Chains A and B, each alone.
Chain A
Amino acid sequence: NAGVTQTPKFQVLKTGQSMTLQCAQDMNHEYMSWYRQDPGMGLRLIHYSVGAGITDQGEVPNGYNVSRSTTEDFPLRLLSAAPSQTSVYFCASSRSGFWDNQPQHFGDGTRLSIL
């Protein structure tokens, strides 16, 4: 089992460029989420999905789009990159319902720099 796989691991963009951060999970988890982590800010929720075809906004959704066409994949799109979006991005997945001590599994992150 690979768990949660994020690609790429590192990326440098220029302001105004667009790109898609990929996230895939092989655990058949219904729920998936995207977070960004900035120094001193903890992790902040960008978007999440409770199943294929269903997405919702988190704390900091502006400038990002998501879609969930399959259970396995949950890509995050930056429409027009801005320096403020320089961050480490984490994708996570979990099962539906309450599973004691088994909720979110995190990927190892995508480190994104926008010049």
Chain B
Amino acid sequence: QQQVKQSPQSLIVQKGGISIINCAYENTAFDYFPWYQQFPGKGPALLIAIRPDVSEKKEGRFTISFNKSAKQFSLHIMDSQPGDSATYFCAASKDQAGTALIFGKGTTLSVSS
């Protein structure tokens, strides 16, 4: 059973557009929801994270929206840039330090100029 489901698998967005990636989870014990960005040949790097007592968190062009009742959360990238082209992973953890993360399968984002 996949605990964190991520969609879409791939996404192509024009420069300046909005990129939206969605995730859904099953386990209500999850208490921490980060998004990671990964470039080829590198390890994932934390982009932004949210706790379930907050419905939205914004950092620069990146926003997480969180819907606890629907068990869904999403990443919005505003004014998408070619440098944002990467693979994005949502994740969830029961541990607020994010020790044992359960990842979605990833979304490959391509931003065309």
Contacts and interface: CB of A to CB of B under 8 A. Distances in A.
Note whether A and B form a binding pair. Answer: yes
Interface of A: 4, 31, 33, 35, 40-45, 48, 50, 56, 58-59, 90, 92, 94-104, 106-109
B103 A94 contact: no
Contacts of B48: 101
B26 to A, nearest CB: 14
B105 A33 contact: no
B43 A108 contact: yes
Contact of A98 (B42, B97, B102, B105): B97
Interface residues of B, number: 29
A100 B59 CA distance: 12
Contacts, number: 79
17 contacts: A31-B95, A33-B100, A35-B103, A40-B9, A42-B89, A42-B103, A42-B104, A43-B89, A48-B99, A48-B100, A98-B32, A100-B49, A101-B49, A103-B34, A103-B93, A107-B43, A108-B42
B41 interface: yes
Contacts of B78: none
B99 A50 contact: yes
Nearest to B4: A42
A99 B100 CA distance: 15
Interface string B16-27: 000000000000
B98 A44 contact: no
A31 B97 contact: yes
A112 B101 CA distance: 22
A78 B96 CA distance: 29
B8 interface: no
A90 B44 contact: yes
Which of B51, B59, B96, B100 has the most chain A CB atoms closer than 10 A to its own CB? Answer: B100
